[in-house]
Amino acid sequence: MPLDLSLYLVTDRELCAEQGLVQTVVAAVRGGVTLVQLRDKHASDAELIDQARRLKAALAGTGVALIINDRLEVALASGADGLHIGQDDGDVAQARAALGPHAILGLSVQTREQLARLDPSALNYLGLGPVFATPSKRDHAEPLGFEGLAELAAASPLPGVAIGGLKAEHVLPTRQAGAQGLAVISAICGTPDPEAAARAFTRPPRH
Ligand code: TZP
Ligand code: MG
């Protein structure tokens, strides 16, 4: 599965449920989402495996990969294309060993120190953020702003996707900061028309 970080949809249990998880994701992919992460801190493994399988089936033929947040067992059992972990979610080398060489493995990074410590050979991409404070993730780290994002992206040994409070108007500054793409929850999942919301990122209005 190719890794295209341009517009990375991260799902949210509540926000995406409004119109149905699968329907929301399918609409967003029609609008231009290039990568999907199933993220749900509360679902059981069994529930997540079921959701991942349904999403995988819905994404068949689109070329859009499905990544699981946090749960290695779910990624392995569901046939998803990869896993995304945070700094406290376990060992990158162990995750790579379990997933095999072809799965996509991403890691969240908030600081230069974390960048300096990681082993890029085990990873495919980095999540860089939060760019802005956001209610979508409780207890997130200090926001980077575009300056902080640019510093991290410049020091990153891997392609980076920016996350945290990003909206369609941030496509240009995010790319100018050196990130390959934008990861978003609420600017797509929490809207009445996820397809149009995604399209706003892929075709930003001219100024
Ligand atoms: N990690 C850092 S910020 C964030 C995550 C999962 C939430 C992003 O959500 P939103 O609604 O796009 O700000
Ligand atoms: Mg995590």
CB 31 near ligand 1, within 6 Å: no
CB 166 near ligand 1, within 6 Å: yes
66-120 pLDDT, tens digit per residue, is 999 999 999 999 999 999 999 999 999 999 999 999 999 999 999 999 999 999 9
Pocket test for ligand 1, best of 36, 125, 185 (most atoms within 8 A of CB): 185
Pocket test for ligand 1, best of 10, 67, 132 (most atoms within 8 A of CB): 10
What does the pLDDT average to over 8-19?
92
Q: Which residue has the tokens 């999942």?
A: 189
Ligand 1: centre distance to CA 11 (Å): 10
ipTM (interface predicted TM): 0.98
For residue 56, give Cα distances in angstroms to 99, 119, 179, 206. Answer: 17, 29, 26, 34
Question: Which domains, and CATH codes, for the chain?
Answer: 7-202 (3.20.20.70)
Closest ligand to C-alpha of residue 109 is 1
28-76 pLDDT, tens digit per residue, is 999 999 999 999 999 999 999 999 999 999 999 999 999 999 999 999 9
Query: How far is 170 from 148, CA to CA, in rounded Å?
Result: 15
CB distance 123 to 110 below 8 Å:
no
Residues known to be catalytic: 39, 108, 137
* Sign of the alpha-carbon torsion through 60, 161, 14, 202: negative
Residues with CB under 5 A from ligand 2 (ion): 70, 86, 89
Query: How far is 12 from 37, CA to CA, in rounded Å?
Result: 9
Q: Which of 75, 126, 78, 69 shows the shortest CA–CA distance to 103?
A: 75
CB 24 near ligand 1, within 6 Å: no
The conformation of residue 19, written as its DSSP 8-state character, comes to: T
Ligand 1: centre distance to CA 35 (Å): 15
Q: In a 3-state reduction of DSSP, which class is residue 193? A: coil
167-187 pLDDT, tens digit per residue, is 999 999 999 999 999 999 999
Helices 194-202, 21-30: axis angle to 10 degrees equals 30
* pTM of the shown model: 0.97
Q: What is the distance of C-alpha 166 from the center of its chain?
A: 12
